[in-house]
Amino acid sequence: MQQISNYINGQLVPPLSGNYLENLNPAEGKVYSFLPDSDERDVEAAAVAAQAAFLSWSQMPLAKRAAILLKIADLIDRDLEGLALAESVDQGKPVKLAKSVDIPRASANMRFFATASMHVAAESHLMEDEAINYTTRTPVGVAGCISPWNLPLYLFTWKIAPALASGCTVVAKPSELTPMTAFLFSKLCMEAGLPSGVLNIVHGLGKKVGQAIVEHPMIPAISFTGGTVTGKTIAATAAPMFKKLSLELGGKNPNIIFADCDFEEALSTSINSSFSNQGEICLCGSRILVERSLYDRFVSEFVKRTRALAVGDPLNEATRLGALVSEGHMQKVLSYIELAKQEGGTIACGGERVKVDGRCASGYFVAPIVITALPQSCRTNQEEIFGPVVTIMPFDAEEEVIAYANSTAYGLSATIWTNNLKRAHRVAHHLKSGIIWINCWLLRDLRTPFGGMKQSGVGREGGWEAMRFFTEAKNVCVKL
Ligand code: TXE
């Protein structure tokens, strides 16, 4: 079976411990490869390599640095099929989704930030005839990038691309649940001629390797995407060390549907925003709020289409929902279905384990779940489940639905369906979410800031915000 290596100082190397962890294929429930069980010694080697490479990388002419990152994007495009297969096998998602979203967006991340780095404007401020101020931005140094398992290569490059494009060098850790595409990516970096030490990838457990990155004194900036609980742990470690911190955490996103919406578009997109990637996307709309006059019709149609979704072998092009990422995560999702019943919910469809024939007989498959008749304040409606689970509730007034939408500890994204322009902008104005879509979902312009409010995160990624995160500003004031 394949043994994944760390990528440190331009080389593919084994963990210094010599130990490996099992990497499962969640669609089969079986081990299919091994990843390094690295520890703080591997992180130390990576940080030293990144520090040694920083001066030359940060001083490399922008066009040359960008050319290397664009070459990596080209290689991702070239290997799209193989990377998509690896992403699907590692995470359980339909290979069709990996081909159409994960891998193309990983390439787009590299391409966008490579070119953005050549067009960053600086600022100056004139104080009449007395003085002139100019502001420069320089890379912070070695950036620590820690990414989750739900969109493995997509979110891995979402951090690495702006960090490298800003002139930082990187020590990165992908999730131990989905290490494969990061390993394949490291080989593409070598092929593209990325200089040794510029990017270092250390595989292993969060509490060991992730924690070692967060607390390493040579790494002044940490960019993290993952659970809110882990985000709190990271913040507690990084804050006393005065590190720059970007935390992209969980969400419990409202999907607000007014009666005057384009019904077919709202319905079909809501199926996607509810169940894409088995609901394992932080931007999924897991709380559907429907204006009462449309409620019965919407629920009836939505349940019918949910029941029709093909759950099965992720390598089958017809599959819409693949396997949940691990047995532990599947049990977490199933436990919330039991909770919903205890809280008085009605399971309109789904919630049972799905037995798939053939090679996937032992995989982690759950039928997509629609729950109604729950109060807004119950745990099922307040806590992030991160699976193919949505609740649907009616509302009567605009003020009521805004209060519902804003009633959780999260504030990541929200979706609004209405053809009343004024109402769309008015509701968007009052929602406490960092990302809002009106009559669409997951439409992304990489120039825009990305991130959540409240417990959905700290800071913003995406576009110039990401470039700023990995640099620090200096203002010089010159007397005329
Ligand atoms: O994330 P973790 P998990 C949510 C979702 C999910 C929950 C937990 O609700 O059920 O988070 O998922 C590394 N120091 N999201 O357990 O633990 C870990 O190795 C440093 C939403 O997968 O947060 C992995 O690389 N690093 C999210 C990464 O953190 C640590 C996407 C994420 O793992 C660490 C994923 C530590 N102490 C889950 N502990 C989103 N917003 O998209 C773990 N890690």
Protein residue whose Cα sits closest to atom 10 of ligand 1 = 386
Annotation marks residue 400 as catalytic: no
Helix (H, G, I), strand (E, B) or coil at 419: coil
Domain of 312, CATH number, reads: 3.40.309.10
Same domain, yes or no, for 228 and 375?
no
- At residue 85, the pLDDT reads 98
Same domain, yes or no, for 195 and 286?
no
> 223-271: per-residue pLDDT in tens?
999 999 999 999 999 999 999 999 999 999 999 999 999 999 999 999 9
Ligand 1 centre to CA of 227 (Å) is 4
Same domain, yes or no, for 245 and 287?
no
Protein residue whose Cα sits closest to atom 6 of ligand 1 = 227
Q: CA 453, 176, 169 angle in degrees (round to 5)?
A: 70
DSSP label of 472: E
Ligand 1 centre to CA of 172 (Å) is 14
Same domain, yes or no, for 461 and 411?
no
Give which of 100, 9, 97 is closest to 47, Cα–Cα: 9
The H-or-E segment that residue 118 falls in is: none
Same domain, yes or no, for 206 and 264?
no
Ligand 1 centre to CA of 234 (Å) is 11
- At residue 285, the pLDDT reads 98
b/e map 393-422, b = 16+ CB within 10 Å: bbbeebeebbebbbebebbbbbbbbbeeee
Same domain, yes or no, for 239 and 324?
no
Which residue is it, tokens 């689970």? Answer: 389
Same domain, yes or no, for 410 and 474?
no
Pocket test for ligand 1, best of 159, 230, 252 (most atoms within 8 A of CB): 230
> 192-221: per-residue pLDDT in tens?
999 999 999 999 999 999 999 999 999 999
Domain count, the chain: 2
Annotation marks residue 189 as catalytic: no
Amino acid making up residue 381: N
Protein residue whose Cα sits closest to atom 7 of ligand 1 = 227
Ligand 1 centre to CA of 233 (Å) is 11
Pocket of ligand 1 (CB under 6 A): 146-150, 173, 175-176, 206-207, 210-211, 214, 225-227, 230, 233-234, 248-250, 282, 384, 386
Q: State pTM to two decimals.
A: 0.96
Residues whose CB falls within 8 Å of the CB of residue 453, separated by 6 or more in sequence, listed in order: 411, 412, 432, 433, 434
User: 20 — phi, psi (to 5°)?
Assistant: -130, 155
Protein residue whose Cα sits closest to atom 25 of ligand 1 = 175
How high is the mean pLDDT in each 10-residue block of the chain (480 residues)? 97 98 98 98 98 98 97 98 98 98 97 94 95 97 98 97 98 98 98 98 98 98 96 97 97 98 98 98 98 98 98 97 98 97 97 95 98 97 98 98 98 98 98 98 94 94 91 97
Q: Which domain does 303 fall in, by range?
A: 254-447
